[in-house]
Amino acid sequence: MGMTITEKICARAAGRDRVGPGDMIDGKIDKLYIKDLRFSKAEDPKGLYGLFKEILKEMGIHKAWDPDKVIINFDEQPARSTRRAEGQESAKQFSQEHGATIYEGYQGGIGHNVMVEKGHVRPGEFIVGADSHSCTYGALGCFATGIGFTETVGVLATGKIWLKVPPAIYIELAGKRPSWIWGKDIVLRIMAEFGANGAVNKTIEYGGSAVDDISIESRLSMCNMAVESLALNAVFPPDERAIEYVKQVSTATFTPVESDPDAEYESRLRFDLTDMEPFVAAPGVPSNGQPVHEFVGTKINQAFIGTCSNSRIEDLRVAAKILKGKTVHPGVRMIVTPASYGAYFQAREEGLLEIFEKSKALLTASECGICTRPSLATGEVCISSGNRNFPGRMGHRDAQIFLGSPATVAASALAGEIVDPREFLPI
Amino acid sequence: MKKNFKGKVWKFGDCIDSGNIKGVMAGIDPEFHTKVQPGDVIVAGINFGMGSSSEDAPRSLRDAGIAAILAESISNIYLRTLINLGLPAIECPGVSSIVEEGHELEVDLESGRVRNLANGASRTFAPFSDHAIAILEKGGLIPYLKSSLANNREGT
């Protein structure tokens, strides 16, 4: 019997020939991502570095496990609290004393995008990140999942995590993707099919004839949402497109792995993308998705293109295409927060930032921004390209958050209400 | 940590994200921290702890003295984090249908059984791995690492 991509990567990380669902492994980490917030004294009064130092002292050693494999990014710039600023100082100190790579200023942005753009994510790798959306990296054919603060300290000390190998769900993407459909539409449709409890602690593996045509940006967006399906990880096969992308951003060698033809899946689902309608998720949970026509006419106060889910260059291009020469509805605050400074400067070079400014969208620095910081008053309605629409996620508990593709967000910003973006896309 | 314990139940619904668990379930009931007693257990529906990996939420439950979390399903990061903090997090399908708030539950981690002492109804769950038990017995991952790394050092 064959193995899936995830099983093969887990087996290699555990130093075994083979593993199957339910096996407990101690996996050796290829890469650890940490966001600056973890270094602040937010979750633990000692902070990440303080607690780590304490462990080192008790062990009687001075150095972290392989610091070349540790990447830190500042997700909030500038820091908006003293505690965060001190966390960033602590991260720098850690980096100086232990040699970890650190991204800040114009090198940074939203950590998950920085990790990908700077070539730290490669096919076949076993990656963990101190943030729930670390599952994003699976788009490039690796195993990637999020871990908590305490476990991050554990990885710094040992370079390993304990893990139960997950069973896998195979999702076949078939048919011809229409030009108005992006990763966010597809993943919202799949999540709606799963329901709220859909893929709890499982692997989602994408495949099928429609994969070729799905951009890296859209794959990243789809894997980003894996944690919202409660999956442990999601993975795309490392096809030519993925390998080409990684070679562009990294000179390091890597060993892609593919699922065996006789790999075993717990279940299989098939989605035909032909003639698919754009999808939108209603407030509450991201699995509340329905075709956009169900929500057309819903008045909005805020439109947000940002987050580690959807604010990459592909997203900025489509938003600019829709906004070009038009003005955001007077009743709407539209906020555009590029995924990274890489995407920010690329967008500037292409003239996209000027289009946003002229359309009266508020352009912000690249950071997590209002996905993690309150911006919605009681009763306000937001349509967001982000990944979370839980009550209170972006402000007051009684505010409502709809999720959609950047095209749906941009078109709705012009109309002042949720609309079908197809009517706003220039042919 | 006890492998067998009893606790009074506080019951919550489906899909409660970590943002609303933060501050001892403050997003759901701002007064909950004044009601809950050390040794009580939380019973919830599907997807308990979904969302952010921030440890404020699980730490607030540990610091309130909650003895265990039982839910129909628990987000992976949340479940791992609770165990790494020394607090048993148990996925137990059907648990929310056999208890009401205020009932007393008996939990046995090794056999993987939970029993409602008010009506005798019981459910089973996958018993904890030896590794998870070892972490829980030490009171969490950090104390576990400190002792196991110290032991390794003595051995070399």
Whether B145 contacts chain A with CB within 8 A: yes
Among B20, B29, B55, B59, most A C-beta atoms within 10 A, so best to mutate, is B55
Share of chain A above pLDDT 90, in %: 91
Q: What is the pLDDT of residue A200?
A: 87
- CB nearest to A197's CB, from B47, B54, B145: B47
Q: Which of A147, A114, A150 minimizes the C-alpha distance to A130?
A: A147
Q: Do A55 and B146 touch (CB under 8 A)?
A: yes
Q: How many helices (H) and strands (E) does chain A have?
A: 12, 18
Whether B84 contacts chain A with CB within 8 A: yes
pLDDT, tens only, A278-332: 999 999 999 999 999 999 999 999 999 999 999 999 999 999 999 999 999 999 9
Q: Do A164 and B129 touch (CB under 8 A)?
A: yes
CB A32 within 8 A of CB A130: yes
CB B94 within 8 A of CB B119: no
Q: Which of A323, A285, A298 minimizes the C-alpha distance to A406?
A: A323
Q: Do A132 and B58 touch (CB under 8 A)?
A: no
pLDDT band for position A162 (cuts 50, 70, 90)? confident
Q: Do B80 and A147 touch (CB under 8 A)?
A: yes
Q: How many CB pairs below 8 A link A and B?
A: 118
Separation of CA B6 from chain center: 13
Among B142, B146, B152, most A C-beta atoms within 10 A, so best to mutate, is B142
Q: Which of A146, A118, A123, A140 minimizes the C-alpha distance to A33?
A: A146
Whether B148 contacts chain A with CB within 8 A: no
Q: What is the pLDDT of residue B155?
A: 44
Q: What is the dihedral of CA A41, A44, A48, A52, to 10 degrees?
A: 140
Whether B19 contacts chain A with CB within 8 A: yes
Of all residues in chain A, the one with the smallest CA distance to B52 is A132
| CA atoms of A143 and A128, how far apart (whole Å) | 8
Whether A27 contacts chain B with CB within 8 A: no
- CB nearest to A196's CB, from B14, B55, B129: B14
Of all residues in chain B, the one with the smallest CA distance to A132 is B53
**CB neighbours of A144 closer than 8 A, spacing ≥ 6?**
A121, A125, A127, A128, A129, A134, A135, A136, A137, A138, A223, A233
Instruction: From chain B, pick out residues whose CB is under 8 angstroms from the CB of A158.
Output: 145, 149
Q: Do B58 and A227 touch (CB under 8 A)?
A: no
Please say if the pLDDT value at position A113 is more than 90: yes
pLDDT, tens only, B80-109: 999 999 999 999 999 999 999 999 999 999
Instruction: From chain B, pick out residues whose CB is under 8 angstroms from the CB of A224.
Output: none
Question: How far B112 CA sits from the closest chain A CA (Å)?
Answer: 16
| CA atoms of A324 and B57, how far apart (whole Å) | 43
pLDDT, tens only, A192-233: 999 877 798 899 999 999 999 999 999 999 999 999 999 999
Please say if the pLDDT value at position A27 is more than 80: yes
- Rounded to two decimals, the ipTM of the complex is 0.88
pTM: 0.94
Pairing label, strands A362-363, A381-384: unpaired
pLDDT band for position B151 (cuts 50, 70, 90)? low
Whether A202 contacts chain B with CB within 8 A: no
Instruction: From chain B, pick out residues whose CB is under 8 angstroms from the CB of A37.
Output: 54
Q: What is the pLDDT of residue B153?
A: 55
Whether A42 contacts chain B with CB within 8 A: yes
DSSP per position, A49-112: HHHHHHHHHHHT----S-GGGEEEE-SSSS-SSHHHHHHHHHHHHHHHHH--EEE-GGG-BSHH
Share of chain B above pLDDT 90, in %: 78
| CA atoms of A138 and B81, how far apart (whole Å) | 22
Domains of chain A (ranges; CATH) run 5-270 (3.30.499.10), 279-423 (3.30.499.10)
CB B72 within 8 A of CB A197: yes
Mean pLDDT of chain A: 96
Q: Do A232 and B141 touch (CB under 8 A)?
A: no
Of all residues in chain A, the one with the smallest CA distance to B60 is A43
Question: How far A156 CA sits from the closest chain B CA (Å)?
Answer: 11
Report whether CATH 3.20.19.10 matches the domain B4-155: yes
- Extended beta strands in B18-135, E state: 41-44, 68-71, 89-91, 104-108, 113-116, 122-124
Of all residues in chain A, the one with the smallest CA distance to B152 is A59
